[in-house]
């Protein structure tokens, strides 16, 4: 799994951090910060939930390769 963000569009809602605190945090201005672009399998569901929950759609989650890397 690969996670990417577009901080320029972030609305500082914090849903990403609420859904996946091991993958995302917020800076002092409230903008999303990606902690782990390749989260371990136990964080995949949380990262996908954060992608869906983000009101500005700044999170992109994709699967890489056929081995789930």
**Tell me: the pLDDT tens digits for 26-61?**
999 999 999 999 999 999 999 999 999 999 999 999
Q: Which domain holds residue 19?
A: 2-62
- Counting the structural domains of the chain, the total is 1
66 or 2, which is more confident: 2
**Tell me: the pLDDT tens digits for 24-34?**
999 999 999 99
- The enclosing domain of 38 has a CATH number of 3.30.70.20
End-to-end C-alpha distance for the chain, whole angstroms: 6
Opening angle at CA 14, ends 11 and 18, nearest 5: 155
- pLDDT at position 37: 98
67 or 19, which is more confident: 19
Closest CA to 55 of 18, 1, 15, 27: 15
Is residue 51 within 8 Å of residue 24, measured between CB atoms? no
Q: Is residue 69, in this structure, part of any structural domain at all?
A: no
Q: Is residue 52, in this structure, part of any structural domain at all?
A: yes
């Amino acid at each position: 799994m690969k996670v990417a963000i577009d901080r320029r569009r972030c609305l500082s809602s914090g849903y990403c951090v609420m859904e996946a605190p091991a993958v995302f945090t917020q800076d002092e201005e409230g903008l999303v910060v990606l902690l782990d672009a390749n989260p371990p399998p136990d964080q995949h569901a949380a990262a996908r939930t954060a992608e869906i929950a983000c009101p500005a759609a700044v999170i992109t989650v994709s699967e890489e390769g056929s081995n789930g890397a």
